[in-house]
C-alpha cells in the first residue's frame, strides 16, 4: 500500500469518489473545525522532526495530517507554518532533542508554546483550542460534498 493510500484509509477506490472524500476531510468534521480570532492570532507554527521515527512525535504528526487541513480551511487569515527539523545526526539523543511543539504567534508579537511530545493528536487540538479560545464551527457551516448515487 502506498503512503498516499495509507493516509486515506477507508477512502473509496473510484477517483471521483476519492476526491469527494478528500475534500470533505479538508473541510473537516465538527470535531476538528475551529475558528481562531485572526485579529488576535497571526501564525500557528508546528515544529517536528523531518523524519518522524521518534515515537513521542507521533501525535504531532497525526495532528498535522488530520487536524491541520481543517484548521487551515476555516482560518484563511491565520498563517499556518510547518517547520521540519533535521537532527544533527541519527543518534537517539539528537532525534530526542528536536522540539515537537506548536508555537502560536499573536498579533502583538508574543509567542505561546504547546509541548506536543508524547501527546495524542486530540489532546494537542484541545490544548490549541484552549490556548487560543478558538470557537467551534457549527456543523451547518461546514461545507460537504454529497456522494453521487451509485447504480
Global pTM reads: 0.82
pLDDT tens profile 48-85: 887 766 677 889 999 999 999 999 999 999 999 999 88
Concatenated DSSP letters for 116-146?
-TT--HHHHHHHHHHHHTPEEPPGGGS--PP
**How far is residue 27's CA from residue 23's CA, in Å, rounded to a whole number?**
6
pLDDT at 7: 56
pLDDT over 60 at 1, yes or no: no
Cα angle: 82, vertex 10, 12; to 5 degrees: 105
Confidence of residue 3 (pLDDT cuts 50, 70, 90): very low
Name the more confident of 49 and 150.
49
- Look at residue 58 in the predicted model and tell me its pLDDT: 86
Lowest mean pLDDT among 10-24, 39-53, 133-147: 10-24
The answer on pLDDT for 31 being more than 80 is: yes
For the chain, the domains span 1-30, 33-135
pLDDT in tens, 77-128: 999 999 988 888 777 787 778 889 999 999 999 999 999 999 999 999 999 9
Residue 10's pLDDT is 66
Kindly state the cell numbers that stand for 76: 484563511
CATH topology for the 33-135 domain:
Glutaredoxin (3.40.30)
Give mean pLDDT, residues 12-34: 83
Amino acid at each position: 500500500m502506498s503512503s498516499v493510500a495509507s493516509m486515506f484509509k477507508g477512502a473509496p477506490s473510484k477517483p471521483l469518489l476519492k476526491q469527494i472524500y478528500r475534500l470533505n476531510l479538508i473541510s473537516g468534521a465538527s470535531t476538528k473545525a475551529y475558528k481562531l480570532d485572526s485579529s488576535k492570532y497571526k501564525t500557528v507554527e508546528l515544529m517536528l522532526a523531518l523524519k518522524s521515527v521518534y515515537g513521542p512525535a507521533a501525535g504531532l504528526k497525526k495532528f498535522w495530517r488530520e487536524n491541520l487541513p481543517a484548521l487551515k480551511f476555516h482560518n484563511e487569515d491565520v498563517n499556518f507554518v510547518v517547520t521540519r527539523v533535521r537532527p544533527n545526526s541519527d543518534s537517539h539523543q539528537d532525534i530526542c532533542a528536536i522540539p515537537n511543539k506548536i508555537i502560536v504567534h499573536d498579533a502583538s508579537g508574543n509567542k505561546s508554546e504547546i509541548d506536543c511530545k508524547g501527546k495524542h493528536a486530540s489532546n494537542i487540538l484541545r490544548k490549541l483550542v484552549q490556548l487560543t479560545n478558538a470557537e467551534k464551527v457549527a456543523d451547518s457551516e461546514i461545507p460537504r460534498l454529497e456522494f453521487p448515487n451509485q447504480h
